Amino acid sequence: MSSDQHSSPIKTPRQLITLVVLAFVVPVILIILLVTFVTGEKVGGAGTEAMTPEAVAERLRPVGSVAFAGASSGPKTLQSGEAVYKLACSACHATGAAGAPKAGDAGAWAPRIKQGYDTLVKHAVEGFKGMPAKGGNADLDPIEVARAVAFIANQAGAKFKEPEAPAAPGKATARTGEQIVQATCGNCHTEGLEGAPKIGDRAAWTKRASNGIDAAVASAIKGHGHMPSRGGMSDLTDAELKSAVQYMFLKSTGAPAK
């Protein structure tokens, strides 16, 4: 048997060193390549595009954001009393649920109408007993709530007038005394509700005229008894309020107050 069959392929020390080095280097290189491939797949995703400023910003973007609806859509269009009733009030007032006075039930509404329009609006806006504020719809404007109150009460015999929308800022023109009375003051003064001097009652208005028009206007600005400040119309100017008081004096006594 030939001795060449048992001879080693390594003939020189140099070959041995080379083999040893390769035995260490090759596995290390393979491991590095494998790790790079795995981590690159998780972090990079689609390659270098994943590290672009846009991609990084997208990954850092908050999960949620707040959008202010209607910020540039102009002033809100106020709904009519009937529309608000159908939207928020009818759920209880159409059926009388939870003790709510049913729309059209004159007997149930009579004592409430006697409280006066301003009181009913205050209860509807702020909430009263089992009724939540604004009928549970916080997005409603107070004027919309007031319109709904007038609509519902009128179904049961009241003669309330739905309030008009206030004039746009910067475009306001002074309203006449008659317009203001029709918009809000007349809701109580036409029928003399809650002790309000009834328009046409000469004796009641003459008594109030005894202290002068300025005293009557000051009382209306501040609020008196069941009458809220400025008749519930916070946008009324002193001059407009004075014209409304003067209008009621004139209609009741036949002469302007001084």
Q: Quickly state the pLDDT bin for 183 (edges 50, 70, 90).
A: confident
Q: Is 20 inside a domain boundary?
A: no
Q: Which amino acid makes up residue 182? A: Q
Same domain, 152 and 180: no
Q: Is 63 inside a domain boundary?
A: no
Same domain, 146 and 228: no
List pLDDT tens digits, range 144-178: 999 999 999 999 999 998 888 766 655 557 788 88
**Closest alpha carbon to 144 in 91, 189, 190, 89:** 89
Model pTM score: 0.47
Q: Which amino acid makes up residue 167? A: A
Same domain, 176 and 256: yes
Q: Quickly list DSSP for 175-221.
A: PPHHHHIIIIIHHHHTTTGGGPPPTT-HHHHHHHHTT-HHHHHHHHH
Q: Which domain holds residue 134?
A: 78-160
Domain boundary among 127, 160, 193: 160
Q: Quickly state the pLDDT bin for 6 (edges 50, 70, 90).
A: low
Across the chain, mean pLDDT equals 78
List pLDDT tens digits, range 39-74: 665 444 444 555 555 554 555 454 544 444 444 455
Same domain, 133 and 188: no
Q: With beta carbons less than 8 A apart as the criterion, state whether 223 and 229 touch.
A: yes
Question: In the chain, how many domains are there?
Answer: 2
Q: Quickly list DSSP for 64-85.
A: -----TTTTS-SPPPPPHHHHI
**CATH number for 253:** 1.10.760.10
Same domain, 176 and 154: no
Domain boundary among 160, 193, 225: 160
Domain boundary among 100, 128, 160: 160
Same domain, 228 and 186: yes
